[in-house]
Amino acid sequence: MTATPTRLELRAISKRFPGVLANDSVDLNVAAGEIHALLGENGAGKSTLVKIIYGVLHADEGEMLWEGETVKVADPHAARNLGIGMVFQHFSLFEAMTVLENIALGIENPGDMNALAERVIEVSHAYGLPLDPGREVHTLSVGERQRIEIVRCLLQNPRLLIMDEPTSVLTPQEVERLFETLRQLSTEGVSILYISHKLDEIKQLCDRATILRGGKVVDSCDPKQETAKSMAAMMIGTEVRPLSQREGSSSEKIRLEVQGLNLDSDHAFGVTLRDVTFSVREGEIFGIAGVAGNGQNELFQALTGERPVHIAQEILIDGMAAGRMGAAARRRMGMCSVPEERNGHAAVPEMSLTENFILSGYGRMGLLSSGFIRNDAAEELSRRVVKDFNVKTAGVGASAGSLSGGNLQKFIVGREILQNPGVLVISQPTWGVDAGAAAAIHEALFALAEKGSAIIVISQDLDELMALSDHLAVINMGSLSKSMVTAKASIDEIGLLMGGLHGMTEHQPGPNGGNANVV
């Protein structure tokens, strides 16, 4: 039997940053047509390694071989010329441009734009990731933006496809369709280097796995012969403690009540909220499921005061009408929030962790005195978050943008929980976060609920909602389903309620003014 040829080989790759050895003599090989998982905690060195492969970073030491030949990948352009494509976890998109313009900028020789638009529609629908090429990126949800990255990559017919958390905002039905596509690419000889913290996905999809810890390769395995629990233990060096069991809230006190909430979209491609009604009691975790782009962002903005509504009584916080209040006033009433987009919305990348704490915590945590900022107090609170949530950072003076995605998420969640909110609205709480960090965030939410807070979790991760929430509802095209007891609902049922596929509808114009294709 002929051995499968090696497509990519890394030999003793090392990369240093000030105070950090991100990759420590890493060896890795990926065969032609193989789906290979790269596993590790946040900060284990996965992102650094794939950025070296893709030419975004350059190794300090080591050698990279492509189909048996030593290569120097100077930049992403050179990587794409070799046949390497990458879908980043954090997107490289221009928000003021359209989907089509962003795709054209990211591929070699885009050619005629009308022809490219047709290819985008064809490819995106074939892979179950529908896109309207004419939409501007700033009107899209995080999940829809991720689709741009995936489709842009697939348009280039890569021989090695690097995917970083590609399913974090897809329904189970969409995940399975994407997996079918990846398996088909694999049979055609395309190699796939797959990064995900969803270990059940790794077990289902991947042929081999390499595990990084602290920048080093510490293990490898056949995922199909492992359990999610055993792979998590390889990643973190110890067993992940299972979530504690909690009883649902028995309190009758309603902390957040939404009554017939209506909110028109503020842009052409947004989603209008229609008659949204639900309530969350003291000590309850209420989940909101939905496919990206069905009104989650608009609902988050309405709940948190980023977009006040016209009728004050449509949103009640502890019985007080808050619908016309802005975000700062709602924080004073006890509402805190964690938006889905870490960089730029939840945190300012260029500012330090302490400065980012001040941005949301100055009022609730008493960080202003006679018009002056109490920096010492802010630093102490930031250090407490770093300690309590095990945030890996050089210190609270480090910029938010210098942290890995998972560590920044832990800091943001910790910052809000430390403010002891009466109501917490959190969107995609563990997007791109490793198993250990996800468990820590979930436990912190449980503890907050036990103290009497009402928590609203907006997530596309149905496993997460099933594990966290007492009750949940599904948002679809701006309308919310009736609340259901989570323990009595099935993932398949919820997935079907979410609508299967998302994005364009028959009423939305295509790139040339006609109706977009409908899946």
Q: What domains are defined for the chain?
A: 6-236 (3.40.50.300), 252-334+422-501 (3.40.50.300), 343-420 (no CATH)
Using an 8 Å Cβ cutoff, are 193 and 158 in contact?
no
- Other C-beta atoms closer than 10 Å to the C-beta of 329 total 15
List, in order, residues 6 or more apart from 432 with CB less than 8 Å away: 42, 89, 165, 168, 197, 405, 406, 409
The pLDDT of residue 507 is 35
Q: What is the pLDDT of residues 192-236, one digit of tens each?
A: 999 988 888 899 999 999 999 989 999 999 999 998 888 888 887
Hey, CA dihedral for 488, 476, 515, 111, is it positive or negative? Answer: negative
Whole-angstrom distance, CA of residue 85 vs CA of residue 56:
12
DSSP H or E stretch at residue 229 = helix 228-236
The pLDDT of residue 29 is 96
Q: What is the pLDDT of residues 126-163, one digit of tens each?
A: 877 789 999 999 888 766 787 888 889 889 889 999 99
Mean pLDDT, residues 421-426: 97
The pLDDT of residue 417 is 95
**Phi-psi map region of 16: left, alpha, beta (phi>0 left; psi -120 to 50 alpha):** beta
Complete edge-to-edge strand list for the sheet that includes strand 216-221: 84-87, 160-164, 191-195, 35-39, 208-213, 216-221
pTM for the whole structure = 0.68
Using an 8 Å Cβ cutoff, are 150 and 96 in contact?
no
Q: Residue 509: pLDDT above 70?
A: no
Whole-angstrom distance, CA of residue 137 vs CA of residue 127:
20
List, in order, residues 6 or more apart from 74 with CB less than 8 Å away: 55
- Residue 43 tokens, joined: 């900060």
Q: What is the pLDDT of residues 360-401, one digit of tens each?
A: 999 999 999 988 999 999 999 999 999 999 898 989 999 999
Using an 8 Å Cβ cutoff, are 20 and 71 in contact?
no
pLDDT band at 437 (very low <50, low <70, confident <90, very high): confident
Whole-angstrom distance, CA of residue 384 vs CA of residue 403:
17
The pLDDT of residue 392 is 86
Q: What is the pLDDT of residues 452-497, one digit of tens each?
A: 999 999 988 788 888 899 999 999 889 999 999 999 987 777 777 7
The pLDDT of residue 162 is 95
pLDDT band at 3 (very low <50, low <70, confident <90, very high): low
Closest CA to 143 of 170, 162, 172: 170
Using an 8 Å Cβ cutoff, are 424 and 417 in contact?
yes
The pLDDT of residue 247 is 65
Using an 8 Å Cβ cutoff, are 411 and 387 in contact?
no
- Residue 123 tokens, joined: 């490819």
Mean pLDDT, residues 173-199: 86
The pLDDT of residue 508 is 37
Percent of the chain with pLDDT over 70: 90
Query: Given the DSSP bridges, would you call strands 208-213 and 216-221 parallel, antiparallel or unpaired?
Result: antiparallel
